[in-house]
Amino acid sequence: MSLMSDKELPQLTNDEIKRYSRHLIMPEVGVDGQRKLKAGSVLCIGAGGLGSPAAMYLAAAGVGRIGIVDFDVVDFSNLQRQIIHGTPDVGRSKLASAKDRINALNPHVDVQTFEEMLSSENALRLFEGYDVILDGTDNFPTRYLVNDACVLLGKPNTYGSIFRFEGQASVFATKNGPCYRCLYPEPPPPGLVPSCAEGGVLGVLPGVIGVIQATEAIKLITGIGEPLIGRFLIYDALRMRFRELKLKKDPDCPVCGTHPTVTKLIDYEEFCGMRPPAEEAAVAAVNASRNATEITSLELKKRLDRGDKLTIVDVREPNEYQINRLPGSILIPLGEIPRRYAELNKNDELIMQCKTGARSGRAADFLRTVGFTKVLNLKGGILDWIDKVDPSQPKY
Amino acid sequence: MATKILIPTPLRPYTDKKDAVEADGATVGELLADLTKKHSGLKAHLYNEQGKLRSFVNVYLNDEDIRYLQKEQTPVAPGDTLSIIPSVAGGV
């Protein structure tokens, strides 16, 4: 991994020898392996669920330089799993919080922070100076961006992904190994696969997967063991079962295949269908039509106070409905709408509502395709309702 | 001969929350056809409008990706397990 010869590798100080003694006494790591770690560098994309445990273990293990890319602020809802941040850090930048934590854990580590959103413009520049890239992001455009940048630069990507109780991990973009696009050539259309913010995640799950990613980064840097290349690891926390699937390098892969068609970074939002390659006017028209099908919390309050007959349909899950709800709303989870929409009356005026307005927007779109005409989506969901109308209810 | 099909978390709402179900068929394609007949909600998640398997959903017979076997024509033997593995992006 590191291009340095044994002679050029940095020496360990007496303090470091004391600190890393449990590595040094194992022949697989030893003094040379520890020196490779000291010379090594890992760039963590995101200081969230996966990046938190990964960065902490990499720091404790003595990886000499750890970079973190993030632009978020610590929120109370992060603390259930993002263990690099503590309660006093709520409201601080994640980078500042992560840097303090790593410095406290191991002052020998050089922490480099990049407070920017990873993009096609900055990815190659940011990745250039690191040996291994650790992908702990949370969305498809960034996943494909990280993959393509790693392939183009020839940097290994220790990959991890999580959903509810299930995790996935692999090592992509090594010299002869497959990449993320060999596994999944195309992303799902927006909205079909829920995010952790929508679907939830067991707090310890990113701990397991993030530490697997850190393990692979350490193995790549020290050159020991059998890396998770060409293998796709699936972890089910509920059944406590690991499964390993075979993963082949696709000769027709558009980025790492024999005749690549992607030779530079592209527009990943467009690739993932987040933003169709349309004229701005068309985008504006879509936004305008969306406005005509939305209602704000304040408008809804006014209409309810006026006594308008409205049917509020909450499309969240029953456990979310237990936490907070709009007065008089009925519950039909999004997944049940296709078989239960007959319970709704086409002549009633329907207000679709969820946590943020995303799921209920999809429910409203679906109802329109089956002939409902009087459907409005509550903009910003119940979170906006709590902010603007009823601050007595808890937020989650 | 019923074959066991492992269902991933994101698709369990369409199989009455079951993590494994059974289906009949001599090939992977027949198994998936029987699966989506028994659990119709899965169809839109597994196939696109042209009736082709979606490219962000991978199907494995035991530990092999069917794209590198005989795709949907891959024959199924007694004791095989089929896994559906969709891409997930979560990380924070």
Q: What is the pLDDT of residues A195-234, one digit of tens each?
A: 666 678 999 999 999 999 999 999 999 999 999 999 999 9
Name the residue in chain B with its Cα closest to that of A45: B91
pLDDT for A355? 94
Provide Rg for chain A, Cα atoms: 24
Kindly list the structural domains of chain A, giving each domain's residue range(s) and its CATH number in brackets, ordered by start: 40-271 (3.40.50.720), 292-388 (3.40.250.10)
Partner A contacted by B14 (CB < 8 A): yes
In this structure, are residues A262 and A148 in contact, taking their beta carbons and an 8 Å threshold?
yes
Q: Which segments within A204-340 are labelled E, that is strand?
A: 231-236, 241-246, 294-295, 310-314, 330-331
Residue A115 has pLDDT above 90, yes or no: yes
A179 is catalytic: no
Cα–Cα nearest to B86, from A393, A155, A189 = A189
Residues of A in contact with B56 (CB under 8 A): 184, 186-188, 193
Q: At A296, is the pLDDT very low, low, confident or very high (cuts 50, 70, 90)?
A: very high
Give the torsion through C-alpha atoms of A232, B56, A338, A304, to 10 deg: 90
Greatest alpha-carbon pair distance for chain A in Å reads 81
CA distance A69 to A114: 5
Instruction: Return the number of other C-beta atoms located less than 10 Å from residue A226's C-beta.
Output: 7
B19–A166 C-beta distance less than 8 A: no
ipTM, two decimals, is 0.89
B56 contact A CB<8A: yes
Instruction: Identify which of A248, A193, A191, A206 has the alpha carbon closest to the alpha carbon of residue B8.
Output: A193
- Three-state DSSP class for residue A116: coil
**Which whole number is the average pLDDT over A341-367?**
92
Which candidate from A138, A244, A245 shows the least CB-CB separation from B90?
A: A138
| Whole-number pLDDT of residue A280 | 47
Q: Which residues contact A199 (CB under 8 A, 6 or more apart)?
A: A163, A164, B10, B90
Q: How many other CB atoms are there within 10 angstroms of residue A352's CB atom?
A: 31
Check pLDDT > 60 for residue A276.
Answer: no
Residue A44 annotated among the catalytic residues of the structure: no
Amino acid type, A151: V
Give the start-end residues of each E strand in A260-361: 294-295, 310-314, 330-331, 349-353
List pLDDT tens digits, range A126-141.
Answer: 999 999 999 999 889 9
CA distance B67 to chain A (A): 10
Q: What is the pLDDT of residue A288?
A: 58
Mind listing the pLDDT tens digit for each residue in A12-54?
999 999 999 999 999 999 999 999 999 999 999 999 999 999 9
Check CB contact under 8 Å for A183 and B87: yes
Q: In chain B, what residues touch A160 (CB-CB under 8 Å)?
A: 91
Mean pLDDT of A179-188: 92
Is A138's CB within 8 Å of B54's CB? Answer: no
Nearest chain A Cα to B13, which residue?
A: A335
| Banded model confidence at residue A116, pLDDT cuts 50, 70, 90 | very high
- CB-CB under 8 Å, A186 with B9: no
pLDDT in tens, A46-77: 999 999 999 999 999 999 999 999 999 999 99
A243, A317, A365: best to mutate for the B interface, most B CBs within 10 A: A243
- Can you list the domains of chain B with their CATH numbers? 2-86 (3.10.20.30)
Residue A312 has pLDDT above 80, yes or no: yes
State the pLDDT confidence band at B45, using cuts at 50, 70 and 90.
confident
**Is the CB of B90 less than 8 angstroms away from the CB of A168?**
no
What is the percent of chain A with per-residue pLDDT over 90, rounded to a whole number? 81
One of A44, A253, A272, A354 is an active-site residue; which one?
Answer: A354
Of A196, A253, A256, A272, which one is the catalytic site residue? A196
List of E strands, A2-58 = 41-45
Rounded to 10 degrees, the C-alpha dihedral A133/A137/A142/A145 comes to 10
Q: What is the mean pLDDT of residues A187-195?
A: 70
CB contact under 8 A, B10 and A193: yes
List alpha helices for A293-380, DSSP H. 297-305, 318-321, 337-340, 358-369
Looking at every residue in chain A, the average pLDDT score rounds to: 92
The answer to whether B88 contacts chain A (CB < 8 Å) is: yes
Q: Which span out of A103-107, A314-318, A319-323 was modeled with the highest average pLDDT?
A: A103-107
- H-type alpha helices, A113-200: 123-128, 140-153, 180-183, 196-199
In whole angstroms, give the CA distance from residue A209 to residue A215: 10
**What does the alpha-carbon distance between residue A43 and residue A235 come to, in Å, rounded to a whole number?**
24
A286 has pLDDT over 60: no
Contact A189, A264 (CB under 8 A): no
**Of A169, A186, A195, A164, nearest in space to B12 by CA:** A164
Residues of A in contact with B10 (CB under 8 A): 163-164, 193-194, 199
Confidence band of A4 (pLDDT split at 50, 70, 90): low
Contact A380, A356 (CB under 8 A): yes
The answer to whether the beta carbons of residues A180 and A293 sit under 8 Å apart is no
- The structure's pTM equals 0.83
The answer to which of A194-208, A221-235, B10-24, B29-43 has the lowest mean pLDDT is A194-208
Name the residue among A158, A108, A155, A103 with its Cα closest to residue A136.
A158
Residue count of chain A, please give it: 396
